[in-house]
Amino acid sequence: MSLKNIIICGDSRDKKLTDTIISACRKIGGVFVSDSECIYTTSENPVFCITCTDKIRMIDADGIIIFGDGYTEPDEKCTIKKVVCITDSSNKAAVRSLNSTESCVIGCSMSERDTLSISCITDEYRLVSLQRNIRTLDGDIIEPCEIKLFSDGDLPPFIVLAVCAVLLLTGQPYEDGFYI
């Protein structure tokens, strides 16, 4: 089995997006992590490979890229191939970089126009609305639905939606919700 590649580009200084993605992936198969300061694994046979970077100029690899709120456009045109892109639709730098890509882009925000949005917040969970079909990395189709997402702590909407998108794209069962 090959590693599922996840690239996190431009996470803010608190690294909450990165930490939450790593935590969620650790629970379902282990992670090999490479960032500017550390390289480590969370299990003997990790299922996920997470690479963290501040900027990119070119990606030509299968997997997922998540654009954090600290992403800034490179000086040169960004070439993105093969990966599924996840971004907050209000992240103007990411949206500009993705304008010319042929890769699938999954918009995540509180907007009803985005692929993933939060439709309900309770004390127990958030209800994430998948508003259009998406194709998993393995080629399966997930049709519009609502997914309960349970988490400890108060996470910003984009982080909740990005984690949900990663779990959906990597083929995790969602019928009973996600626990992050």
What pLDDT is stored for residue 1 in this prediction? 57
pLDDT digits (tens, 9 = 90+) for 167-178: 999 999 999 999
Q: What is the mean pLDDT of residues 35-59?
A: 91
Domain span at 77: 4-179
pLDDT digits (tens, 9 = 90+) for 98-143: 988 888 999 999 988 899 999 999 989 999 999 999 999 999 999 9
The radius of gyration of the chain from alpha carbons, rounded to an integer in Å, stands at 15
Instruction: Give me the CATH number covering residue 175.
Output: 3.40.1190.10
pLDDT digits (tens, 9 = 90+) for 1-14: 578 999 999 998 88
Total residues found in the chain within this entry: 180
145 strand-pairing partners: 130
Domain count, the chain: 1
What pLDDT is stored for residue 40 in this prediction? 94
pTM score, whole prediction: 0.94
Whole-angstrom Cα distance, residue 51 to residue 83? Answer: 13
